[in-house]
């Protein structure tokens, strides 16, 4: 049976993004030689249902790997004797793991945000797949457990979920399996509590007395947030978003400047961000572009240079001009709706150039012959906008 409880109020809003400089003059923070900082969150969010064929000899007899469809929106699990609420949200690659008090109510924003594709019913939590951006209470056992998971020298923790006789069960690491307890939250009517309500919506939010507007565009479990003054976009960031307990969490994967890794907001049903700004909401349309349609090697000729862009299935890319002599960029890529995003992790002569750390733009005219990338790149040389199949003979 599902039980219910009232969500404890009075959460403290924390960690706003810092303001960023203009794309063309913010300076380049890209390391030409080394990988990203070890504090970055590993993107393991290619969400897919578990393999029906996957079996583990340590499972109970008759068990199968759980899929996303088997998970409730909220469920209680026990870790080291403490109760936690696992929130699945939109089931789009991010989960919330909250500490609970003795009355099984949420304790503020004391949680981990876990990035996982839930493959084979497994959720791995460590410093590369989880974020704990809020201050934990070192006197509380639940907070200590969450904090220990993401410590730099910690091996982390693995949650495994299986279905046995129509019952959802879980275990922590190699421990014994136990039955999951579904939970119902009474979240009230004032806040947006379902990420689907923001799908294909755009919020233009501006605080009183501030000329800078924050423009949020929402896709399927993803977002793009632009800082706009007048008609000029001065910076932007994009990444994963989901809603747990009335809080909308944003985890940045692409950013033009030095934005922090995450932020949280409470978006109200009256189109405002609680305690921050009022917003104008509108619908926007786009035709989804399948990332697989963009995968592969593409070519362009522009400004007397031969260009090659390789969008690889592992969501890494390279961009070369004149075989790397005139340009050489690489990093991560993704598609949100019809927007192609490139994270610039390495580039030619990085320390001598003032280029943004990320590039985005709508993708149009996609076919087997090529596509148009209407991007925001202001670097020199800038990426071409028209890409075609290479001339291979």
Q: So what's the pLDDT on residue 22?
A: 38
Residue-wise pLDDT for 148-158, tens only, equals 998 888 899 99
Q: So what's the pLDDT on residue 308?
A: 98
User: 89 and 95 in contact (C-beta within 8 Å)?
Assistant: yes
Same domain? 295 vs 277: no
User: 257 and 357 in contact (C-beta within 8 Å)?
Assistant: yes
Q: Is residue 72 part of a domain?
A: yes
- The number of folded domains in the chain is 3
Same domain? 66 vs 175: yes
**CA 329 to centroid of chain Cα atoms:** 23
pTM score: 0.83
Task: Please say if the pLDDT value at position 20 is more than 70.
Answer: no
Closest CA to 129 of 103, 150, 107, 152: 150
Residue-wise pLDDT for 234-277, tens only, equals 999 999 999 998 899 999 999 997 655 788 899 999 999 998 89
Residue-wise pLDDT for 33-72, tens only, equals 323 333 345 555 555 444 557 889 999 999 999 999 999 9
Same domain? 95 vs 127: yes
For residue 149, the enclosing domain spans: 48-185
Backbone angles phi, psi at 292, to 5 degrees: -65, -25
User: 170 and 177 in contact (C-beta within 8 Å)?
Assistant: yes
Position 189 confidence tier, pLDDT thresholds 50, 70, 90: very high
Same domain? 270 vs 310: no
Residue-wise pLDDT for 115-147, tens only, equals 999 999 999 999 999 987 566 788 888 889 999
Same domain? 135 vs 238: no
Residues 284-301 have a mean pLDDT of 96
Q: Is residue 23 part of a domain?
A: no
Cα separation, 252 vs 49, in Å, equals 24
Neighbouring C-alpha atoms within 13 Å toward the C-beta of 198: 32
Cα separation, 52 vs 183, in Å, equals 26
- Of the three residues 283, 318, 335, the one that is the final residue of a domain is 283
Q: So what's the pLDDT on residue 12?
A: 34
Residue-wise pLDDT for 348-358, tens only, equals 999 899 899 99
Q: Are β-strands 316-321 and 327-336 bridged in parallel, bridged antiparallel, or unpaired?
A: antiparallel
Q: So what's the pLDDT on residue 124?
A: 96
Q: Is residue 40 part of a domain?
A: no
Q: Are β-strands 3-6 and 181-186 bridged in parallel, bridged antiparallel, or unpaired?
A: parallel
Structure tokens at 272: 């405002």
CA dist list (Å): 371 to 117, 181, 365, 380: 29, 48, 5, 22
Q: So what's the pLDDT on residue 185?
A: 87
Q: Is the peptide bond before 381 cis (omega within 30 degrees of 0)?
A: yes
Q: So what's the pLDDT on residue 58?
A: 93
């Amino acid at each position: 049976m599902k039980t219910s409880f009232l969500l404890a109020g009075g959460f403290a809003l924390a960690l706003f993004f810092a303001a960023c400089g203009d794309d063309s003059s913010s300076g380049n923070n890209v390391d030409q030689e080394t990988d990203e900082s070890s504090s970055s969150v590993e993107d393991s969010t290619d969400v897919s249902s578990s393999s029906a064929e996957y079996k583990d000899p340590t499972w109970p007899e008759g068990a199968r790997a759980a899929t996303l469809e088997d998970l409730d929106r909220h469920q209680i699990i026990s870790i080291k004797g403490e109760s936690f609420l696992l929130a699945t949200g939109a089931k789009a690659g991010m989960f919330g793991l909250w500490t609970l008090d003795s009355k099984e109510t949420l304790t503020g924003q004391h949680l981990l945000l876990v990035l996982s594709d839930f493959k084979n019913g497994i959720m791995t939590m460590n410093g590369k797949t989880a974020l704990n951006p809020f201050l934990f209470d070192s006197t509380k056992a639940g907070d200590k457990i969450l904090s220990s998971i993401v410590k730099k020298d910690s091996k982390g923790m693995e949650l495994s979920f299986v279905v046995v006789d129509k019952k959802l069960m879980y275990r922590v690491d190699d421990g014994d399996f136990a039955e999951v307890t579904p939970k119902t939250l009474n979240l009230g009517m004032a806040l947006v509590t379902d990420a689907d309500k923001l799908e294909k919506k755009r919020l233009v939010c501006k605080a009183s007395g501030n000329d800078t507007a924050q423009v949020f565009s929402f896709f399927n479990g993803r977002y793009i947030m632009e800082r706009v003054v007048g008609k000029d976009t001065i910076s932007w960031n994009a990444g994963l978003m989901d809603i747990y307990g009335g809080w909308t969490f944003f985890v940045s994967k692409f950013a033009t400047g030095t934005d922090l890794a995450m932020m949280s907001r409470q978006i109200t049903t009256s189109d405002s961000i609680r305690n921050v700004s009022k917003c104008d909401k509108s619908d926007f349309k786009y035709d989804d572009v399948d990332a697989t349609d963009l995968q592969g090697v593409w070519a362009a000729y522009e400004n007397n240079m031969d260009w090659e862009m390789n969008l690889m299935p592992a969501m890494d890319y390279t961009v070369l001009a004149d075989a790397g002599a005139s340009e050489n960029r690489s990093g991560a890529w993704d598609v949100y709706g019809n927007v192609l995003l490139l994270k610039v992790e390495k580039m030619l002569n990085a320390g001598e150039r003032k280029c943004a750390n990320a590039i985005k733009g709508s993708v149009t005219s996609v076919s087997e012959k090529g596509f148009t990338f209407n991007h925001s790149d202001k670097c020199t040389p800038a990426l071409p906008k028209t890409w075609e199949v290479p001339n291979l003979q």
